[in-house]
Structure formats: C-alpha cells, structure tokens
Structure 1
C-alpha cells in the first residue's frame, strides 16, 4: 500500500494524516481557518495527527465496533486532550474530514465524513465513489463567520464540518459489495488527499 500527502500550500505545514494497520486505512484531512490560532494553540496538523493515530489505535483494538462509533470515540479523546487549553466549542477551531476503509473477514467497510472522497474499484462494475454530501449544507451557516475571521475564506475549500462525536453517526458509510483488490485480500486500497 502506498500513501502520499502534501501540504495544501507551499511553505505551510502539511495538515493531513494517513496511516494504516493490517486491516484498515485512514485519511484525516485537517481543516482550519488562518488567523484563528488563538482558539487552539496546537493547530490543525496536531489535531489531524492526533485524530488519525487515535482512530487507528481503536481500529486495531476494537475490530468488532462500528466505524462511526470508533471515530466518535477518537474525536472525543482528542477533544479531551486540549479541552482545558483551547476553545474546542468554537466552530472555527480545528476540524477534519475523515475517510476510513476496513477489511474484516473479506468484507470491506467504509466511512467518509466531511469533504473527503473515497474511490473503490469494484470487481463487478464501475468504481464506487463515496462522499459525504452534507459538507456543503453544513458549512453554509458558518460562511459569514468564516469570512469575518478570514476574508479569504470564500476562496478556500478547506472548510469541513467541525468534527464532533455527534456528527460521526451521520457520515457516509456502508459495505460496497465485491471490491477488486490488487495485491492481497488483507491490504485495503489507500486513500489520498490534496491537502
């Protein structure tokens, strides 16, 4: 499996996380608004990395739990890690889009939250493209607040739903049927982010 990610803009920190365990792959596409660092001293890259490692740990330790449950637990853990030092309730604090792919007993399971996209090649037809259509609807009420804090926000696509444990249950998820696996039955395809 190959995973790559690059910073969205040259000279900036990469705010993405990719990782895998033998039966799962995770992509976390960190999101934030420039100029809001006073809300979270850790930053978007920290948030994405912590969320990704917490989620991978849970995927390894609790293979019988649902993906939305594991993601909600990971979000809650990361939120608790900086609740005392940062304004985690502000909708402009760091957030993330997430894509998860898990293989269990030859069944492929996926979850997509926010503006991440997962493309799965199927053995019996056209690729399955999975996205969370709520991202555009959810971000609209915050558009004015984003523009007030960062006037260039209207030109960015980095904004996604503030990752809250209650939001993970509405993520796009499912079992796509027969997936064409290129290497082995134990290595899910990787997902990629543009930053």
Structure 2
C-alpha cells in the first residue's frame, strides 16, 4: 500500500513476466496496471515493493545486503518500475542480490531487513532509524518475520520470539524443541 497516495499494489511473478496490479475500489478487485515481459530468474527470489515519496509506482526490491550489526548502511537492490524493465536488469550479477532473507516496508520511511539472526531497522536509504532500535538480535536462525505495531515476531522451526521495536527487549517467546512449527501465510 502506498502511504502517500493510498493506492494498493500487487506484484505477481510469472516465468516470463512481472505483473503490477492496482486495487480498483469501485470494482472491488485488482486490475492489471503494467505487464513487464521479460524472463525472470528461477526461482524468482525476493520481490518486495518499496514505495518512495513522489513516485507513482513502487520500486521492486530484489535483495538487500549489509552487515548484520548496527551502524552500517543496508544496500537495497531495486528494480525501478517507472522506467520499465529490460532482461538485463531483472537478473542481478553474480553475488547479488545480497544476503537478506526478507524486506518489509512498515511505513513511509521505515523498512525491516531480516538477515539470518537479526532484523535491521532502516530508512529507505538503508540508514539506521533514529527512533527505533537499529538491530533486533535473535539466537536462532530466523525463517520469517511478522511486524506488529510495536514489535517484531521472528519465527524459527521450534518456536518464535517477539522483540520490542523500541528497546530490543523480548516481549514474548515460545520454544518447544520437540515440535516443528510452520508459519501459515508467510512469504515462502
């Protein structure tokens, strides 16, 4: 959802194209806005929309990289949809798009970037935010994260842990090493 305009977008990756759809309220459905015909890498990997102020269409984040610790910038690898896509821009060079597992834009200028054992909280330039904890650290390999209003839930195979966005303190935790948990409705 574009917080600047109120528009809601949906990205769909097909083997030979990337579709951008926009919610049309009078018909109560998504309508095709653009079809970018170009072969996508298989598997498609990360495709997360990032909405920038002043841009009508979202950019598509295909990866992010940076150190897991605080203080350093995160580098986002994005496809600018307004410029159109070409086959060479869709397939990043070797070594890219980076080590981030998940990228989630939570408001106008705040992005959660999930790495193996931490979640970095940065702005759209990849710099740490001034108002939130710069890094949420976990002692298990993160499979997926869910952002709540004031915390992040990180899920792993034997449970989950919630951490405060402000203080990085544990807010809730479930661990049972005798069971395997799966998150329904997750990105993967």
Tell whether the structures are fold-level matches, with TM greater than 0.5: no
Larger Rg over CA atoms: 2
More helix by share: 1
More strand by share: 2
Short-chain TM bin: under 0.3
TM-score when normalising by structure 1: 0.23
TM-score when normalising by structure 2: 0.24
